[in-house]
Structure 1
């Protein structure tokens, strides 16, 4: 009796024709690659925004050690400039902290006095500011970071483009894998399909059974791939934390929404691909 019930629920024998190991395993690998590509794209976008909004607007002013006593004059001149939005001196203790990774314990050497300032418009040319400051305080130097930030932003856009291209490639490969698996299932169950078709089973019924089976297998595989991606992405996020200022926790930086969407999207891709493949195959039957 139980055997008859199983046959009634699966008259095409799809559980035997469509393996619950091979297809989910391949989809899991595709989902892992898709998760890495999505995380790379999101991370590149976040870094680009951080660089453009942070370092691009920052300008550093250095006063030589012999001009250290003119810090107040430099501050007054900078704050009076219309293009300067904010200006503050860098604390000596912070200077030592910034230099410690390269010099260890900073020796008792005369260090230049450093000021940080931000411009109202990052596109402004800092040359007039440099001339005004040099005329007032000989030896003072203005260093704008906009050009380097622009190059880093271009690099981030390139990384983002590559990640999206990889994602498109992964989707294409996943569609091809599902199509091949569907055709293999059709070939192995050809006789049963022809019998049901001759008995009056519609294309929608046959295609729907294949699509549901493959959609569930694809969704399950993508769920496994997303689960594997979580610790890998957390480790990569921890490595990239210094680039984000070291303030972001690895687990909070993960693209949780993208990871949650992988199984239903993979299931939908599997379902749609199976529907199209089966219907095209059925149209060729006599």
Structure 2
């Protein structure tokens, strides 16, 4: 007879811990799975926003005041003359020749193995990289003076393209933030639906519990804790799934970062770490609001 008594004690303990039967009413699979998917989307949106912002700053800081001068291969011997003319201009801060090795390094992320398969034999133009005193200087007069001193030299400013790329990066960042807001809204809706489903399945138990003197704070708190834990757990799984996806995407974005490999340390670890507590808070607050609103309708 000891075994039945032990089973009865275990049931009473479970009832004391979960008098509303929320473990059965609120599935520990469906809601966390949905939250995990939304957390994955949120992580991708956050990473996209951060990456677009970083690229915009990189382009603006690195190329806005940069100008390149190209000399045709047959004029490469006049490199020293072009450098002397450019360095004598007060608008030019620095003028440095770009080596052939660096030219190949810059082209390799875009051309890949084709660069080593035969393009190395092709003559490359001689390139000079300039840094102007500030990005507001009009490069047209510089190009005229340079062409007069070194015929065939062409000066190309990147300001217009940098402005267009910065606008594109800003648009991508705006879309990523809009997606993040949409994901948050869907998360609130999913949690609200799950809470209402839990209330509907345990309606009689809730009403009895309420009639016995349980306050709105007690009942709503039990729902909120359960749903908050489920949401946080689902977000943790989604953040873990986002790590390899973000690592793969960062390698694809390497050409836009100057061909530099993006390491694990550059991933948005802080954003990923914040996803579970934020999801748990959204679940807790949504459940609190939904349950209290329903309880106010009880007599």
Band of TM-score, shorter chain: over 0.9
* Secondary structure in 2 matching 1:139: coil
- Structure 2 match to 1:226: 239
Q: Unpaired runs of 5+ in structure 2?
A: 1-8
How many residue pairs match? The answer is 286
Q: What does residue 152 of structure 1 align with?
A: 165
Residues 45-67 of structure 1: CA deviation (Å, up to 9, x unaligned): 11111111112222111123444
Q: How far is 1:247 from its partner?
A: 2.2
- Whole-angstrom CA distance in 1 between matches of 2:22 and 2:257: 49
**Structure 1 runs not aligned, ≥5 long:** none
Once the 2 structures are TM-superposed, how far is the Cα of residue 68 of structure 1 from its aligned partner? Answer: 3.1
Asked if the contact 1:90–1:115 (Cα under 8 Å) also holds between the matched residues in 2, the reply is yes
The correspondence of residues 1-286 of structure 1 with structure 2, limited to 5 A, is 1-98=9-106, 101=111, 104-106=117-119, 111-286=124-299
Q: Is the 8 A contact 2:135 2:159 kept in 1?
A: yes
Deviation at 1:97, TM superposition (A): 5.0
Aligned to 1:134, the other structure's residue is in SS state helix
- CA distance in 1 between counterparts of 2:45 and 2:84 reads 49
Q: Tell me the secondary structure at the aligned position of residue 54 of structure 1.
A: helix
User: TM-score, normalised to structure 1's length?
Assistant: 0.94
CA contact (8 A) 1:235 1:250 kept: no
2:6 matched residue in structure 1:
none
Measure, in 2, the Cα distance between the counterparts of 1:99 and 1:233: 25
Q: Over residues 212-251 of structure 1, what are the superposed CA-to-partner deviations in whole Å (9 max), with x where a residue is unaligned?
A: 0000000000001111111111111111112112323342
Q: Deviations over 1:22-69 (max 9, x none)?
A: 110110111011011011111111111111111222211112344433
Cα distance in structure 2, aligned partners of 1:264 and 1:114: 52
Aligned partners of 2:106, 2:44: CA distance in 1, in Å? 32
Change (3 A) 1:230 1:108: closer
The alpha carbon displacement at 1:74 in A equals 1.7
Using the TM superposition, name which of 214-223 and 87-96 deviates more.
87-96
CA distance in 1, matches of 2:184, 2:64: 36
68-77 vs 114-123, greater mean Cα deviation: 68-77
Q: TM-score, normalised by structure 2?
A: 0.90
User: What is the alpha-carbon distance in structure 2 between the residues aligned to residue 21 and residue 226 of structure 1?
Assistant: 17
After TM superposition, give the deviation of residue 200 of structure 1 in Å.
1.1
Structure 2 CA distance for aligned equivalents of residues 89 and 116 of structure 1 = 6
Q: For residues 146 and 199 of structure 1, do their structure 2 counterparts lie closer, same or farther at Cα, with a shift above 3 Å needed? A: same
